[in-house]
Amino acid sequence: MMSPGPINGEHPIARHPIRSARIVGDDGEESVVATVYCPLKERSATVPECESCHRFHALHFDAAARTTSVVCHSGPASRGEERADPPRGVGGPVNPEMPLANIMTRDVVCVRPEITVDAISALLVRHGISGMPVVDAEGRPIGMVSRADVLRAAQERGDTGESERLTLRRDEVPPLDMDQGFHVVEPVKTTARDIMTPVVVQMHESASIRQAASLMAYEGIHRLPVTSDDGKVVGILSSLDVLRWLGRCCGYLIPVARKRA
């Protein structure tokens, strides 16, 4: 682990946390895209792009926060840029122009539309999240699925497997020799595409907190997919992320959330 510090007055060294977008397909395969928000370019840059950049200094692993950052000489502070030394946004002025990239949830789990509802449930539980973007083959958001969508699908499906077995006619032969109390549960064929809410709003990572908070309040949504220049998901902004940012601006030391919103 290295300890970054200022190199000179003109181009202070800065630390940019690496974000990861994990896309899970219907076969369980995962692909991960790692990016940082470059304040100079005001867009996402992949880690290999940073490593070949003349301003790149090192990769920095913060064991306490369990985050890895790109450390580079990215010039004078731009709006809301994170510096290496001060804690992230604690006690600073409330700057509603700060880019979403600085406060959004950086490690986002996405799913492809063909993934089943059961697989979505497992992902929600495993990652301790309450919703996730559904993305196309390019990683662009096409919908959102939430715990509520999964519960609604389960309620609409009902326990049909068991009720079918219990209402067998006398002359009907059960397909399996099962003891009393056991029943067959048919595989769930409902997919993310069937239950998702189509994406109607999303925001570029350089958009401001002011814009995002207003849009979320106006649309009545708790999660907003955040995208890069090419339209791919690089993060997700939840209403809790905005509240955490506000609390930190007011001087409260709020730890990184264990559960993502």
Q: What DSSP string runs through 6-59?
A: ---SSS-EEEEEPEEEEEE-TTS-EEEEEEEEETTTTEEEEHHHHHTSTTEEEE
Stretch of 68-76, 88-96, 154-162, 214-222 contacting ligand SF4, by CB under 6 A? 68-76
| Of 22, 26, 42, 53, the one binding ligand SF4 by CB under 6 A | 53
Query: Is residue 192 a contact point for ligand SF4 (CB under 6 A)?
Result: no
Nearer to ligand SF4, 59 or 142 (CB): 59
**CB of residue 46 vs ligand SF4: minimum separation in angstroms?**
9
| Sign (positive or negative) of CA dihedral 120, 231, 41, 245 | negative
- The DSSP symbol for 101 reads G
**CB of residue 229 vs ligand SF4: minimum separation in angstroms?**
13
Q: What DSSP string runs through 140-185?
A: -EEEEEEHHHHHHHHHHH-SHHHHHHHT--TTPPPSS---TT----
Nearer to ligand SF4, 69 or 202 (CB): 69
Within 11-50, the residues that bind ligand SF4 by CB under 6 A are: 16, 36, 38, 40-41, 45, 49-50
Nearer to ligand SF4, 48 or 175 (CB): 48
Nearer to ligand SF4, 43 or 127 (CB): 43
3-class secondary-structure state, position 70: strand
Nearer to ligand SF4, 43 or 157 (CB): 43
- C-alpha to C-alpha distance for 111 and 123, rounded to whole angstroms: 9
Size of the site for ligand SF4 (CB under 6 A): 14
Site string for ligand SF4, 69-88 (x = CB under 6 A): -x-x-x--------------
**CB of residue 188 vs ligand SF4: minimum separation in angstroms?**
43
For 43-59, give one letter per residue: b (16+ CB within 10 A) or e: bbbebeebeebebbbee
Query: Is residue 234 a contact point for ligand SF4 (CB under 6 A)?
Result: no
* Contact positions vs ligand SF4 (CB under 6 A): 16, 36, 38, 40-41, 45, 49-50, 53, 55-56, 70, 72, 74
